[in-house]
Structure 1
Amino acid sequence: MASARIARDRLSVAISTDRNAHAIEARTAVREQQLRVVARAHEVTRPSRSRKLARDWGSGNAIAGMDARQIRDQARHLERDLDLADNALNVLVQNTVGSGIDVLSAPRLPGQPINRELALQLDELWDVWWDAPEVTRAHDYGACQQLLARSWLRDGEAFYQDLVGTVPYLEHGGGVPYSIEMLEADLVPLGFNDPARNILQGVERNAWGRPVAYHVYKQHPGDPLGWTTDTKRVSAEVMHCIANLKRLHQVRGLSVFASAMSRFEDVKDYEESERIAAKVAASMTFQIKKGSGEIYQPAGEGLGGVALVQQGVPVRELRMAPGAIFDDLLPGESIESLGTDRPNPNAATWRKEQLRAAAGGIGVSFSSLLLDYNGTYSAQRQELVEKWGSYLMLAERFIAMSVRPQRQRFVEAAVLAGKVRLPRGWSLRHLAASTYVRPIMPWIDPLKEAYAKGEAEDRGWVSPQQNTLQYGNNPDEVLRQRQDWQQQQQQLQPATPAPAEARAQLRADLSRDMLRDI
């Protein structure tokens, strides 16, 4: 018995010691956690009840794999059903590619002048190819650029394939055997992954992450005639991706609406609620103010007015017309108009501020998104200058991913087909040297803009060709038209008038004769 009591006492002491040790360890851990939180330099990294810390969802490819398709579908829904989103896309496309980014040939060796003969040959071939550059023959090159840019901005990415030379069942539209095939992002499956072949989201890459091939559906998955899951492998040498990338090593793009999509949806829901409320308020016109309860008789007796019976229940009808006099009201009744608080005077302000924030997210100017151009010249000019830098960035990215590669492939096809002769010592890079004419910045005050451009040209800061390009014109074509105009003037010009000195002398003689007569 004594030994059992001793063992029990020892066990109690050990348990008490362990409990105290665990309590001390727990308090120490909590204290260390508190010290780590307090020791954080940035307040935003300290969790609190009023601030929820964000978490990282992985790499850019992980995020695109989770959200790209849903964001793409939602962006298309906004384009279809929300005029604001459709207008935002229109503005972006208008200021990125406009009617089409033109290409002016400027073949030359480094440090040498432009070979005008080659430039003229390439420009003539380019003009013919511009009318039918793609496989369906449904769009010219300007429309192709607009559709590619629209898909790139709305869906986050678009694809096109180069078709050079003889292709089965394909007849090239232009004089050069080169055509493009435009593809939507749906045709490259986001869910196609194969680590063994280094395929991620339908894109096959090498060890360095460079795309070497794309795995493409043989038919559009949204085709109403049905589709198959069979894919084909297309080399990245002929197939290219135009993607809106925000992260390093990201493979698939995300829509420009991604960050502003919730705000657009809120504006859409709010406007719909305001429209319904305004319609209900407009339907409510007048009310009949009743008297006290003693003046009423039992139901169905002495209604007054015109009595209608619907399903055995008498209904009162008062016909309203301009200048109507109601002489059949019951004692104590009067007609009053209903005053509503619709339309909501604060709705426009709230909508404007929401769209101002959304405009920054998608990279479009607020005035263009809202179609509100109020303000001073300085304010409008400042907004235009700031946003035009964003449009130039988009245009340069589109040229780098689409227009310049297509131009180089066009020149290569022209040389292979014998349409243009490559001079000795030249490379395709020298022959494909070109000037790309982007959309020009619109003018707020044409006189001020023209004066500024002329002053810059007079001071030697820009060349006349640069100013001509800023107007969206081809400098060579402008010179040819000016020469033609001068020739027409010389042919149609009447007899040469007297010089200014002769006219001045004649006026002086007439004045002297008139004074002599007086």
Structure 2
Amino acid sequence: MDADALPFLSRKIVEHMGKKYTAKVRKQFRNYGYGDAGASKTRRAFKKYHAVSGSPKQDIDRHNSVLRSRARSLYMSAPLATSAIKTLRTAIVGPGLYLHAQVDGKMLGISEDESKKLNKLLEMEFELWAADRRSASVSGLSDFYEQQQIALMAWKTSGDTFALFDVGETDILHPYSLRLRLIEADRVCTPSTTNVSPLSTYGKNTDTGNNIYDGVEVNEKGRVVAYHIRNTFPGELSTETVKWARVEAIGKRTGMPNILHIMDAERPEQYRGVTSLAPCIENIMQLGRYLNSEEAAALLQTCFTIYVTTETDGDG
């Protein structure tokens, strides 16, 4: 029935009930705290901003392969990305972090002079190993200080990197057997035989019952117990049979780490790192395209030929 056809008193009741219902609805949808700020669902800026948060496995592990590839591509092709990574390398490690021994003489029961002599001796002994390329690395191509630079650049570009402790031969010139071997982030991955699906980074070790997150094996308490390292680089053309080596995080016999995982965790329960270029990949890519277009336009502009015409005759 039309409201105008109702008696005056009935219309007033209908209007009053309508206002009361509207006030009730408004009260229900009133925003409090962050609901009026970053969590608002009514502001125009957020109407099409539907963010969904997942676990570190969903948000990071599933996308890490693409992020690494794009970050490396920008590092090799975009000067801005290259300078960002190299600036971090120079600012953090520079020529390398050197040992500056500071033994506690009081704890050892020795004098201050003896402490200074011991500090000098320790620094000299460490330098015998660190400054020699054949002593510090498995490949023999870089000393300890150069490996720091390589590790930091790989960490910032790929999100994380790994260093294996290996044992090498000793002789008169190389008295220490410790060798470091840097491992590319991509080679630490979940074995295909344990994957839940061919495209998944999540797997399960059937021997131990532990979960494997993108190559990192974790026990039921969430502690990292092992890393699975592939013998070849994923996607690399090779005649070698693909296989994985399981490296325990801590040696059972020595109680010392077998491998160093260099990463910067952003969230709890995160087991793999994310490239430092991840938040700005799109911006760097678009800026690179813009600069290339400007350079091409400027180069094309220099190729234009200018013709000057006049109405006078040749003699004039």
TM class by shorter chain equals 0.7 to 0.9
Question: How many angstroms does 1:62 deviate by?
Answer: 2.1
1:261 and 2:281 matched: yes
Between 76-85 and 44-53, report the one with greater CA deviation. Answer: 44-53
* Other-structure match for 1:47: 41
Q: Compared with structure 1, are the counterparts of its residues 54 and 111 closer, same or farther at alpha carbon in structure 2 (3 Å cutoff)?
A: farther
Residues 244, 255 of structure 1: 8 Å contact kept:
no
Residues 198, 204 of structure 1: 8 Å contact kept:
yes
* Other-structure match for 2:212: 199
* Other-structure match for 1:136: 139
* Other-structure match for 1:462: none
Return the match for 1:211 from 221, 224, 230: 224
Which structure shows the bigger proportion of residues in helix conformation?
1
Q: Compared with structure 1, are the counterparts of its residues 94 and 35 closer, same or farther at alpha carbon in structure 2 (3 Å cutoff)?
A: same
- Correspondence 1:347-366 to 2 at 5 A: none
Residues 68, 275 of structure 2: 8 Å contact kept:
yes
- Correspondence 1:18-417 to 2 at 5 A: 35-41=27-33, 42-43=35-36, 44-48=38-42, 49-51=44-46, 52-108=48-104, 113=112, 115-130=115-130, 131-132=132-133, 133-164=136-167, 174-189=174-189, 191-194=201-204, 196-221=209-234, 223-237=236-250, 238-287=258-307, 327=314
Q: Deviations over 1:242-288 (max 9, x none)?
A: 01221122100001111111111111011011111112222123156
CA distance in 1, matches of 2:29, 2:226: 48
Tell me, what secondary structure is at the counterpart of 1:45? coil
Give the counterpart letter for 2:228 in structure 1. H
* Other-structure match for 1:508: none
Q: Deviations over 1:120-158 (max 9, x none)?
A: 332222111111201010001111000000001111100
Q: Compared with structure 1, are the counterparts of its residues 33 and 67 closer, same or farther at alpha carbon in structure 2 (3 Å cutoff)?
A: farther
CA distance in 1, matches of 2:301, 2:237: 43
Q: Deviations over 1:370-428 (max 9, x none)?
A: xxxxxxxxxxxxxxxxxxxxxxxxxxxxxxxxxxxxxxxxxxxxxxxxxxxxxxxxxxx
Residues 210, 220 of structure 2: 8 Å contact kept:
no
Q: Computing the radius of gyration over CA atoms, which structure comes out larger, 1 or 2?
A: 1
Tell me, what secondary structure is at the counterpart of 1:242? strand
CA distance in 2, matches of 1:326, 1:119: 93
Tell me, what secondary structure is at the counterpart of 1:99? coil
TM-score by length of 2: 0.74
Q: Deviations over 1:189-233 (max 9, x none)?
A: 162521742222111112332211101102233544345431110
CA distance in 1, matches of 2:217, 2:142: 30
CA distance in 1, matches of 2:289, 2:29: 40
Q: Compared with structure 1, are the counterparts of its residues 35 and 68 closer, same or farther at alpha carbon in structure 2 (3 Å cutoff)?
A: farther
Tell me, what secondary structure is at the counterpart of 2:228? strand
* Other-structure match for 2:254: none
Tell me, what secondary structure is at the counterpart of 2:186? helix
Aligned positions, number: 263
CA distance in 2, matches of 1:69, 1:258: 12
- Correspondence 1:5-20 to 2 at 5 A: none
Question: How many angstroms does 1:95 deviate by?
Answer: 0.7
CA distance in 1, matches of 2:202, 2:306: 64
Q: Which runs of 5+ in 1 are unaligned?
A: 1-27, 292-324, 329-518
Q: Which runs of 5+ in 2 are unaligned?
A: 1-20, 191-200, 251-257
Q: Compared with structure 1, are the counterparts of its residues 53 and 224 closer, same or farther at alpha carbon in structure 2 (3 Å cutoff)?
A: same
- Correspondence 1:479-518 to 2 at 5 A: none
Give the counterpart letter for 1:194 in structure 2. K
Give the counterpart letter for 1:286 in structure 2. I
Tell me, what secondary structure is at the counterpart of 1:193? strand
CA distance in 2, matches of 1:263, 1:213: 37
Give the counterpart letter for 1:55 in structure 2. A
Question: How many angstroms does 1:290 deviate by?
Answer: 10
Q: Compared with structure 1, are the counterparts of its residues 138 and 66 closer, same or farther at alpha carbon in structure 2 (3 Å cutoff)?
A: same
Q: Deviations over 1:64-83 (max 9, x none)?
A: 11221111111100111111
CA distance in 2, matches of 1:57, 1:68: 16
Tell me, what secondary structure is at the counterpart of 2:70? helix
CA distance in 2, matches of 1:149, 1:222: 24
Tell me, what secondary structure is at the counterpart of 2:152? helix
